[in-house]
Amino acid sequence: MTADSTMAAEIATEQEYFDRAAGERERRRRAIADIPGATANKGAAQRAARYVEARLASMAGPLDQVAIGWIDTDLGERLYVGHELIRDEASRLLVTSWKSRTAAAYYKARPADPLGVRRKRVFRCTGNRVEGFVDAVFDDVPETSVDADGAWLPQLDDALLTELQASRAGELRSIIATIQAAQYEVIEAPLDQLTVIQGGPGTGKTAIALHRVSWLLYNHAELDAEDVLVVGPNSTFVRYIEDLLPDLGDDVTHLAIGDFRPDIRPRPQVRGRESENVAALKGDVRMAGLLAWALMQGVERPSAVKTWEARVNGRTYSFDGAGLVAAVDDALQAGTYQQARLRLCGWFRTAGSRNGAWADEQDPMTLTGQIMPEMTAAALVQRVLSRADELQGVSAGNFTAEDLRQMWREPRPSAQERWTLADMFLLDEAEELINGSPQRYRHIVVDEVQDLSPMQLRALARRSHGSMTVVGDIAQSTGLWSRDDWDDLLCHLPDRLPVGWHELRYGYRVPRQIHELAASLAPDVAPGVEPPQPVREADEEPFWCELDEQAFAEQLAKRVVHHLDDDLGVGVICPTSRRQAVEAALTDARIDWGDADRAELDADTTVVSPENAKGLEFDVTVVVDPTGILKNDDGNRGDRLLYVALTRATQRLDVIAFAPQPAGVTPENSPRRVEGGEQAEIAETPPTAVSVEPVTAADALQRQVVGLMVDDLMGRLSLIAPHLWQPVLDEVAARLGKTKSDTSSS
């Protein structure tokens, strides 16, 4: 029997099994759909209908493959693993869910620790039709397939390659067929800990975090879907990920950080805008102390040596000053401000009753209000923001007078207040001080956490019982709170539970050529972060062209059409300064496009800013004006934004730069360089990618960074006398040499 005929026979046998399992799945689907008809009354039928709707939504589709693979154990058992549990009418197991603990060996078995697995098979399918498979016999694994710890090195079998090279849709997809051992270890990490996932571009960190949620819900009976909150950086990102968990059978709450609103009434709305300086001040953790101080400033401190008197409803009440002072001090230990008011009210009620009946049952609370006035979150934040002159005394060592002046705004009635996004987190902090913590979640996932302000992190922390999964990449940390290490972030999160640290080593989605181009910036982007190791090659080298303004629109349209003709989705990433020109070029070329900054992700061509591109993936990325991204008018780490932009592609990368570039930036000798202008010859048909050694493109961007840094340094040197220039440069060189030496020795 030939190898081909043996393979065909194996596929036929597997197909019979797949068809049988699919039939049992459909039998189960019909049985579930019939449940409402068997109920006793209308109420039960409605409850059953809701259950049936959720249960059917969690099942794989009728045409979906029933299994992703199987394992043979040393005990002679074969276990098929798939999207969900499938049994036959006799309750015999046909397929186990990928989320079950019995499926763990399918993902975790490795040559150094096979976990009783003798052979593993991975299927390649179209729908439920088996087209091929790859087997791994653990006894036959070559040494080159494992690392020093005996773990699998990434194995690029046909099934994995097919998935990685598949065109991206407008949302994140399930990765259950391609989960690697190191990824699975993160997924099954203990629930009761703060799980930290550091992962560079293409490591699959977002998908891993969401599959972890599904795994936790399946394996922890005490955890319900309503106990889980998933937080993303913006509505675009949330739109991109929000369908994955329902596809896996779980429907949890998703929240964009920009849609966060505190649990107060009336519900505040974001209607105002403010400068980045002011937003940064409001996001500073010092605001928590300032709000607490301002709240206490409203508390009257009676004299311990005088009788305290107050007139309420025509009656004068008198209390011993020393006793009242002690009562106030005791009340302030109660916890929240409102609890303190209630405790003090109880003291007044007890102390006053000794002198006869109260004129009115509400008098004790009225007296309490004269010591501790009733306060709302909105009123407290308004007090801080509109009374800067009263806060000067607290500014030393905290906020400067200039800080407070910048935050000051004209007082207005609460209903007319133009709250900003940063104010939402001040209101939330104030609400906790006054009334206590809001609803808490059993588990919170925060993606792109590296960009959140301390006050945003505090708002999420107070909603957590301690169990969290936080996901990010320090090398992609930008914005007002760009960070260089995790310590600056973790200090604002719950510390009640242990921390589980996971760093993803391999990049599966970004090809080597694209990764190397972006990684040329990595030493400057995040020196302390090890970039991921790419595991696959691109079909084409990155394309670079340098154009003038007149040629831009035509070339951009041709590049986009070229990729669309290959059935690839395109993401166009550009700085704000080029946004209008990009949109006009696409519109004039009659290319249907969506605005990802408005969460429009369904079009084949998507335009997005570097800031909102984080976490997104496209088959092809066209990065427009890398110099403009580097310069970044807002000063939010342009080097990191460019790194983000260059690492969004899973298959191809185009870079369109504008002439003239800074000296030494353009790859003069590169065959991939395409120039444009009035005399430039641009082909009538879309040009194919021009081959070039990856290092050439990397050098181009590296020189671009160097050019910008040199410009900045020259600007600073111009501020001092020329005879001091060389000593300054010598000192810079000496310090850099010492830093490099210290890094090498460590």
**Cβ(10)–Cβ(55) below 8 Å:** no
On whether 199 is known to bind a ligand per the annotation, the reply is yes
- Nearest CA to 239 out of 584, 606, 580, 505 is that of 606
Buried b vs exposed e over 673-706: b needs ≥16 C-beta within 10 Å?
bbebeeeeebeeebeebbebebebbbbbbbbbbb
- Nearest CA to 556 out of 580, 535, 521, 532 is that of 580
DSSP string computed for 391-454 = GGGG-TTS--HHHHHHH------GGG----HHHHHHHHHHHHHHH-----BSEEEESSGGG--H
Tokens of 717: 């040197």
Cα–Cα distances (Å) from 223 to 47, 196, 235, in that order, read: 21, 20, 26
**Cβ(450)–Cβ(640) below 8 Å:** no
On whether 628 is known to bind a ligand per the annotation, the reply is no
DSSP string computed for 110-168 = BTTB-TTEEEEEEEEEETTEEEEEEEEEGGG--GGGB-TTSPBPP---HHHHHHHHSPP
On whether 283 is known to bind a ligand per the annotation, the reply is no
- Nearest CA to 186 out of 207, 201, 156, 200 is that of 207
**Cβ(560)–Cβ(572) below 8 Å:** yes
**Whole-number Å distance between alpha carbons of 527 and 477:** 13
Tokens of 390: 């009263």
**Whole-number Å distance between alpha carbons of 608 and 450:** 20
On whether 614 is known to bind a ligand per the annotation, the reply is no
Question: Which amino acid is it at 315?
Answer: R
Strands 570-573 and 618-624: parallel
**Whole-number Å distance between alpha carbons of 510 and 650:** 5
Buried b vs exposed e over 228-249: b needs ≥16 C-beta within 10 Å?
bbbbbbbbbbbbbbbbbbebbb
On whether 605 is known to bind a ligand per the annotation, the reply is no
**Whole-number Å distance between alpha carbons of 487 and 450:** 11
Phi, psi of 323, rounded to the nearest 5 degrees? -65, -40
Peptide bond before 201: cis, by omega within 30 degrees of 0? no
Residues whose CB is less than 8 angstroms from the CB of residue 367 and which lie 6 or more positions away in sequence, other chains included? 310, 312, 317, 345, 348, 352
On whether 232 is known to bind a ligand per the annotation, the reply is no
**Whole-number Å distance between alpha carbons of 351 and 328:** 13
Question: Which amino acid is it at 196?
Answer: V
**Cβ(607)–Cβ(592) below 8 Å:** no
Helix (H) or strand (E) segment spanning residue 731? helix 725-745
**Whole-number Å distance between alpha carbons of 531 and 203:** 10
DSSP string computed for 684-711 = SSPPPPPP--HHHHHHHHHHHHHHHHHH
CA atoms within 13 A on the CB side of 258: 13
On whether 205 is known to bind a ligand per the annotation, the reply is yes
**Whole-number Å distance between alpha carbons of 274 and 420:** 7
DSSP string computed for 293-345 = HHHHHTS----TTS-EEEEETTEEEEE-HHHHHHHHHHHTTSSSHHHHHHHHH
Tell which phi-psi region holds residue 343, choosing left (phi > 0), alpha (psi between -120 and 50) or beta. alpha
Residues whose CB is less than 8 angstroms from the CB of residue 476 and which lie 6 or more positions away in sequence, other chains included? 200, 201, 448, 450, 614, 640, 643, 644
On whether 200 is known to bind a ligand per the annotation, the reply is yes
**Whole-number Å distance between alpha carbons of 384 and 193:** 36
Going by the annotation, the residues of the binding site for ATP are 199-206
For the annotated binding site, the residues are: 199-206
